[in-house]
Structure 1
Amino acid sequence: MDFFFAVSPILLVLIGMLLFSRSGVFMSVAGWIFAGLVAWLYFQTPLSVVIGASIYGIVKAFAITFAVAFTMLMIFIMKETGALSEIVKTIRSITTNKVEQTLFIGMGFGSLATSLGVVTPALFPPVFVALGFTPLAAVAISILCYDPLTSFALLSIPITLPARVVWGPFNIRPPGIVNLEQFIWVFTQKITIFLPVVSVCFALMMLYFVGKWEAVRKNLIPAVVSGLVLSLSALTMAYTKIVPVEVIGVLSGFFTMIVIYFMFRKSEKNRNKT
């Protein structure tokens, strides 16, 4: 029962958007109010903590709000200056088909850009439409490519912010954790354990929107490889701590782009030989 009430605000938002076609803005406010009521009435959280956490969250969310706003501004500037057309031309010159474009942009560049703070659902749909994708596929892939490593989005805010909130305002000290930096790394490691399954699933979903089950069947290996490269590279960096948490998503996305590029070049050469 505790688990159900813990996830109930998320379920409320999903039901409101999917079944009742309410806007994301409306349902996000409704979900926030409902989460506050659940915390106060069911989990017996002091009302002062609920209000304080809400204010703290609103202030901290300004970083994401600004990222979305400036991404939209960047799209407008790129379109007016012709930079968007140049990007499309470059992508076409280094990719051979829609499947490669989907994995190269969605799994590789999408994760890299998301980690840097770019909001891909706002930036990528015009790019995919210009590449010849249907509007539905363009929007779906742009949303999905925001999620393969979404824990590392916006320079790892989804990881570092909750850790700082738990360590700071809530003053929770897990056993064996001596400082905030160690807590962030432990939090990161626990999240990356799930990425091999999550990233592969997102790669398969992207291909489904490109060509339904036929595209998934024919390109199962590239999808699985791209998902595993993306996730296992992040997992390796999380456990070896060879780079800061903030750049794990950037490097994982970059590695994935390289692997996808050479993987399709190799398959193209094999086809030419036969």
Structure 2
Amino acid sequence: MRIACIHVPQFALQCATRLDPSLRGAAVAVVGGTEPGRTSMAGVLHAPVVLACSRAAWSLGVRLGMTATAARNLSPEISVVHADALAEREAVRAIADALLSASPVVDTGGRVGAGAAHLAMYCEVPQKTRGSAFGDRLVELLSELGLSARIGIADDRFTAWVAAAYGAHGTPHTDDHAATVVAVPRGGSAAFLAPRPLSLLAITPEVQHMLESLGVRTLGEFASLPAPSVARPLEADYQALARGESGASLRSYMPEAPIREDIVVSAGSVLEAPGSLGGAAAIALVARRIALRLAG
């Protein structure tokens, strides 16, 4: 069985622009109650901080962890919107529903990356289906839902995620909205992962530094370590990841009811933002999204 990873970068930001298409291309900062990677604590200030931002907002000086007030003060061009947990959950459901029209098994996966900024979902590649063509179909499905995604296809989950998130050359994508499909050849996971940096594994900085001081800097070098070096179960699991043997098991998603689709409708002012939708266009877009989900 082949696995496809659907990597949705800057998920909170994409959920905001999915809800309000007029925000696309604008300077947008998505704020929430806690800084990425940290949990809120009672008795401390709960000033909203930036969880995600668009490239336009970044160019104006917005940075992750910055308070909402500081972001607003940088420029009047910056739109500050609050992260919507309900909208994000519904977006995950929407993706899963749509994927079921292309794949028999869908796994909703989870958030990945620094501060859990991105979303990684998985699905089974149907038999006798060419990987690149299937990946293009998935990109098209998510585009219909108002989302941009990158697709990685491989024999196992970890390799598929690396292919989706870091591409064929192993470097992070610079354009969060660039849709790419990378299909790793059958049986080629170990070779594909070998030159990738050790930092792709969720090991502690201390352990990574120790390994690098011993000359172990890539997944291939880590995978080739003798068994006594990775005797503990957790380390052995990491070595299996580095060899491209993370497995292809999927937690099957079951559709739920009811389906919900929201969108911001323009009031029709001559000053409305580019990309905003009037009543008829908004209704048509929501209808297409619902039809796409029902098809799954």
State the TM-score bracket (shorter-chain normalisation): under 0.3
Larger strand fraction of residues: 2
**TM-score, normalised relative to structure 2:** 0.25
Larger helix fraction of residues: 1
**TM-score, normalised relative to structure 1:** 0.26
